Amino acid sequence: MLALSIRSLHAAYPETVTRGPIDLHTHSSVSDGTETPTQLMRAAVAAGLDTVAITDHDSTAGWDEALTAAAGTGLQVVRGIELSTRHEWRSVHVLGYLFDPNNADLLGETARIRDDRLTRAERMVARLAEDYPVSWDDVLAQSGGTTIGRPHIADALVARGVVPTRSAAFESILHFSGGYYLPHEAPTVLRGVTMITQAGGAAVLAHPATRGREAVVEERDLARLVDAGLVGLEVGHRENTTAGRERLLELAARFDLVVTGSSDYHGEGKPNRLAENSTSPEALDRIIAATSGVPPVRA
């Protein structure tokens, strides 16, 4: 009886007192967000967030600017990344939190991914240039210079008046089956999770149910990722299907994984709004407890 009432008291007064939503997946112009890390932090404060994670694709180049911009605002910043990996031929994104940014394996692998993204984008643009008025210089003009991808090609097509919006480009010309798509090199998801874990970080599978329940990672593959250190699953994400989310919750319970929810904010580059999905303070506590790379910062 006593134990029960203590536990319920504890639940009513969690250790982490938060002042707003926790959003653990956002992009700046270091990758394909439309706002600089400084503008992203201002947007996070304006949205009333307690905690924001900056998770640019394959780069930590926005970390320092984000911390500087957040100083004095009371916003808690979780330094992170969204690592491009693959499972067989499929692209899989892995969120990594609070790892050591100087870890040699991660530094080498992210540099390789960014380099291959660059040549892949160049090859895609060469194909596109045969049919559309778009050049490699147009695309470079749209990129923040660190991690390049289809969003920057989309923005160049918008600037040239070929399509009205970035999303329209993704739904047509730049779609996987649009005739111009090319893949880029990426490590396996197992290697991605292993690298993040060994760098003292917490790995969480990003939007793992965008293709429905049947396409969610198989239990035996997930078991291997959990053995490699996987901490959580991003269940709350606008692109996860309803049935897919149910499956993810089953798997999270089966493997005792942390469940997160996030916006995947890209500024004006995507309709996703900050805090449209969020993560509980208890889930964030578990993520932080799993890490030893860099601490979350609230200044």
Per CB under 6 A, residues contacting ligand AMP are 32, 149-151, 166-167, 170, 266, 269-270
| Cα gap 133→139, rounded to integer Å | 12
CB of 73 to ligand AMP, least distance (A): 26
Amino acid letter, 64: D
Binds 269, which of Zn ion, Fe ion, ligand AMP, none (CB < 5 to 8 A, cut-off by type)? ligand AMP
Q: What is the enclosing helix (H) or strand (E) of 277?
A: none
Are 78 and 52 a contacting pair, CB within 8 Å?
A: yes
Burial class (CB in 10 A: 0-12, 13-18, 19+), 191: middle
Site string for Zn ion, 219-258 (x = CB under 5 A): ----------------------------------------
User: 148 vs 235, which CB is nearer to Zn ion?
Assistant: 148
Task: Collect all residues with Cβ–Cβ distance below 8 Å to 214 and sequence separation of at least 6.
Answer: none
Residue 147 is classified by DSSP as S
CB of 264 to ligand AMP, least distance (A): 6
- Contacting Zn ion within 50-69 (CB under 5 A): none
Binds 150, which of ligand AMP, Zn ion, Fe ion, none (CB < 5 to 8 A, cut-off by type)? ligand AMP
- Contacting Zn ion within 24-43 (CB under 5 A): 27, 32
Are 241 and 249 a contacting pair, CB within 8 Å?
A: no
Would you tell me which residues interact with Zn ion (CB under 5 A)? 27, 32
